[in-house]
Amino acid sequence: MTVCSHMLAGFSLGYHQRHKLLQTLESTPTIASILELEPRQLAADKIKVLALDFDGVLASHGSALPLPEAILWLQSCQELFGEERIFILSNKPTDERSRWFAETFPAIRFIAGVRKKPYPDGLETVARLAGVSPAAVLMVDDRLLTGCLAALNAGARPCYIRHPFVSYRHRPLAELFFQLLRGAERVFIRLACRF
Ligand SMILES: [Mg+2]
């Protein structure tokens, strides 16, 4: 099953990058949500391109559309970076999401048809399309062993969202599963670094 294979890849590839993942996890300041990411500060840190995860980062798990506050944040990023330098790199690039972006932010590109995170393919595609080195790409993700690991594997920069958007009211089982998975990732990385 493909869902399982990229999760398993996360744990095996994650072991090799465990020290850098721990650094990502412990980097300060901890970013609770994208709303704490100031576009001007990102640009000052030599970030030229944003690759954004969707679930947990722009909306709660499985939502069709970004949250209103995430839309406002996207607008402020768009003004500074330009839409053509923002990409959505989700392991679930659904048609509904893709259509909404095509109508609302037509130049923000959805990356699909590549091997899922944690493989570096999506971020390599982002860097190629934007014409920048992977080091200028910031991958914003709420998962250490998918998005953050993909960033490390591609030579891009990871930004770990520590307190993602969740909605237990809408999808209690899925949210619980992913919260447990996020916690398991953190435990795995801390334990792996002892070896
Ligand atoms: Mg996510």
Ligand 1 center to residue 141 CA distance, Å? 6
Ligand 1 center to residue 74 CA distance, Å? 16
Ligand 1 center to residue 181 CA distance, Å? 11
Buried b (16+ CB within 10 A) or exposed e, 12-29: ebbeebbebbbebbeeee
Ligand 1 center to residue 130 CA distance, Å? 22
What residue spans define the domains of the chain? 19-192
147 pLDDT exceeds 70?
yes
Ligand 1 center to residue 142 CA distance, Å? 5
Ligand 1 center to residue 60 CA distance, Å? 9
Distance between CA 173 and CA 127 in Å, rounded?
35
pLDDT band at 3 (very low <50, low <70, confident <90, very high): low
Tens digits of per-residue pLDDT, 12-42? 889 899 999 999 999 855 688 999 999 999 9
Q: Is-contact 83 107, C-beta < 8 A?
A: yes
Q: Residue 1 has what pLDDT?
A: 46
pLDDT band at 67 (very low <50, low <70, confident <90, very high): very high
Whole-model pTM: value is 0.94
Residue 179 identity (one-letter amino acid): Q
Q: Residue 81 has what pLDDT?
A: 96
What percent of the chain has a predicted confidence (pLDDT) above 90?
A: 86
Ligand 1 center to residue 54 CA distance, Å? 6
Tens digits of per-residue pLDDT, 76-126? 999 999 999 999 999 888 899 999 999 999 999 999 899 999 999 999 999
SS3 of residue 88 by DSSP: strand
Q: Residue 195 has what pLDDT?
A: 82
Ligand 1 center to residue 55 CA distance, Å? 4
pLDDT band at 47 (very low <50, low <70, confident <90, very high): very high
192 pLDDT exceeds 60?
yes
Calculate the average pLDDT of the chain: 93
77-85 LR contacts (CB < 8 Å, sep 24+): 77/39, 77/50, 78/105, 78/108, 79/39, 80/39, 80/40, 80/43, 81/39, 81/43, 81/48, 81/49, 81/50, 82/107, 83/107, 83/108, 84/109, 84/130, 85/48, 85/49, 85/50, 85/130
Ligand 1 center to residue 182 CA distance, Å? 10
Superfamily of domain 19-192: HAD superfamily/HAD-like (3.40.50.1000)
